[in-house]
Amino acid sequence: MLHGRGVEENLTVGRVAELAGVTVRTLHHYDDIGLVRPSARTGAGYRAYAAGDVERLREVLAYRRLGFALREIADLVDDPATDTVAHLLRLRGLLLEQRDRAAAMVTAIDRELEARAMGIETTPEDQLKVFGAQLYEVIGSAYPATRRTEPRIAAQIWDALGDARTVLNVGAGTGSYEPPDRDVTAVEPSAVMRAQRPAGAAPCVAARAESLPFEDRSFDAAMAFSTVHHWQDPIAGLREMQRVARRVVVFTHDTTDSGWRHRFWLTRDYLPDVARLVAGRPSLDELADAIGARTQPVPIPWDCADGFLEAHWRRPEAYLEQHVRRAVSVWTRVGPKAEQRAVDSLRDDLSSGRWTDRNHHLTDLDTAELGLRLLVG
């Protein structure tokens, strides 16, 4: 029931549990971990939920139902940049997405049941199509927990954009690194990512880099952050960016030389499996040549705010955290076995002191050169 006036009544823990369909134990747990606290008291002195607490609980329960972990939810609901309306819009988008996905699965299952009833065998390809979402439809909901604009890297990118007034952000995700002082248009193929763009973010078009729905030279500059390695045809995507914009700025990584895997202890000692992911992909030089770009190194600060793969190079314990790994596609792409092996082995080395023995030189560094590059063309 909507009230035109403020809701005066504070609700007891038992009443909230009843209304929300959760146990009192769950509410106590949320209280214990500081996620949602009943901040008021009833006339009889019992702890009670004020209107603001109920609002917060509603957001927590909705994110929970969408499959977010409590830790990620804490980051989401504590984000000062997101107000209640922004949360509602984001939740609405995610729920519609989930509904559409469930409807598509029901249709696929109905088709298979029909086929089986008629004695028709379905192929393995047909069976897997039900789950045939793109990678970011699967991992996208974990993304905002740790992925956000790192100001020092943003400064380097915005500087490279020069005096561009209109900027296209390709593979824009949730909108990190979009310059606040320019006229930005975003392109993002994943509906899950689009739904998580904050309210007030730049307008976002559902499209792929390889085929941008814009006229030639429509923008002063086009940027792409940490996305080129996901494109089916990176060279075609970069050429498209160059077609629609006068200047192109791309943040990516260098896997050109044979030593790249050894630059970073994570890939060198724990996750050599990434080599398989870059095999056959165009090298940094090929990408740069395709658009006549020059390359600039991007040093990664030790306390990098954006949780991409290399971000925690001086904070190794972070890689033991599920929510840190879930927001980085590499961990999903190497598969659960390689991931578990890497995490177990890192955990052992951290507790035995082996990691520190091998990497003590890093503790004195404020930034690291890990092969991250800007292409400016």
Ligand X SMILES: C[S@@+](CC[C@H](N)C(=O)[O-])C[C@H]1O[C@@H](n2cnc3c(N)ncnc32)[C@H](O)[C@@H]1O
CB of 98 to ligand X, least distance (A): 17
Q: Mask 93-112, x = binds ligand X (CB under 6 A)? A: --------------------
Under rule CB under 6 A, residue 176 binds ligand X: yes
Query: Nearer Cβ to ligand X, position 164 or 191?
Result: 191
Q: Which of 227, 252, 255, 295 touches ligand X by CB under 6 A?
A: 227
Cα–Cα dist 303/319, whole Å: 14
Cα–Cα dist 245/216, whole Å: 7
CB of 329 to ligand X, least distance (A): 6
Question: How many other CB atoms sit within 10 Å of the CB of residue 69?
Answer: 16
CB of 135 to ligand X, least distance (A): 7
Under rule CB under 6 A, residue 231 binds ligand X: yes
Cα–Cα dist 81/66, whole Å: 21
Contacts of 211 (CB under 8 A, 6+ apart): 240
Query: Nearer Cβ to ligand X, position 147 or 373?
Result: 147
Query: Nearer Cβ to ligand X, position 54 or 250?
Result: 250
- Piece of the chain touching ligand X by CB under 6 A; list 158-166, 170-178, 273-281, 364-372: 170-178
Cα 183 off chain centre by: 23
Q: Which of 11, 48, 193, 342 touches ligand X by CB under 6 A?
A: 193
Residues 247-266 that bind ligand X (CB under 6 A): none
Cα–Cα dist 283/300, whole Å: 21
Cα–Cα dist 56/50, whole Å: 10
Q: Determine the 3-state secondary structure of 296 from DSSP.
A: strand
Query: Nearer Cβ to ligand X, position 123 or 232?
Result: 232
CB of 208 to ligand X, least distance (A): 4
Q: Which of 173, 179, 316, 371 touches ligand X by CB under 6 A?
A: 173
* 260-269 own/partner pairs: CB under 8 Å, 24+ apart: 260/371, 263/369, 263/370, 263/371, 264/310, 264/313, 264/370, 264/371, 265/313, 265/316, 265/355, 265/358, 265/359, 265/362, 266/309, 266/310, 266/313, 266/316, 266/319, 266/342, 266/346, 269/345, 269/349, 269/358
CB of 148 to ligand X, least distance (A): 8
Query: Nearer Cβ to ligand X, position 137 or 269?
Result: 137
Q: Which of 208, 263, 312, 325 touches ligand X by CB under 6 A?
A: 208
CB of 260 to ligand X, least distance (A): 19
CB 300 within 8 A of CB 313: yes
Residues 138-167 that bind ligand X (CB under 6 A): 147
Amino acid at residue number 322: Q
CB of 303 to ligand X, least distance (A): 18
Residues 283-302 that bind ligand X (CB under 6 A): none
Under rule CB under 6 A, residue 188 binds ligand X: yes
Cα–Cα dist 92/196, whole Å: 10
CB 162 within 8 A of CB 245: no
Q: Which of 10, 141, 226, 252 touches ligand X by CB under 6 A?
A: 226
- Piece of the chain touching ligand X by CB under 6 A; list 29-37, 92-100, 122-130, 223-231: 223-231
Q: Which of 49, 68, 136, 158 touches ligand X by CB under 6 A?
A: 136
Under rule CB under 6 A, residue 190 binds ligand X: yes
CB 39 within 8 A of CB 52: yes
Give me Rg for the CA atoms of the chain: 24
CB of 209 to ligand X, least distance (A): 4
Residues 319-348 that bind ligand X (CB under 6 A): none
CB 331 within 8 A of CB 325: yes
Phi, psi for 89 (deg, rounded to 5): -65, -40
- Piece of the chain touching ligand X by CB under 6 A; list 54-62, 205-213, 293-301, 349-357: 205-213
Query: Nearer Cβ to ligand X, position 172 or 346?
Result: 172
**Residue 207: is it exposed, middle or buried by C-beta count within 10 angstroms (0-12/13-18/19+)?**
middle
- Interface residues with ligand X (CB under 6 A) are 136, 147, 170-174, 176-177, 188-190, 193, 208-210, 225-227, 230-232
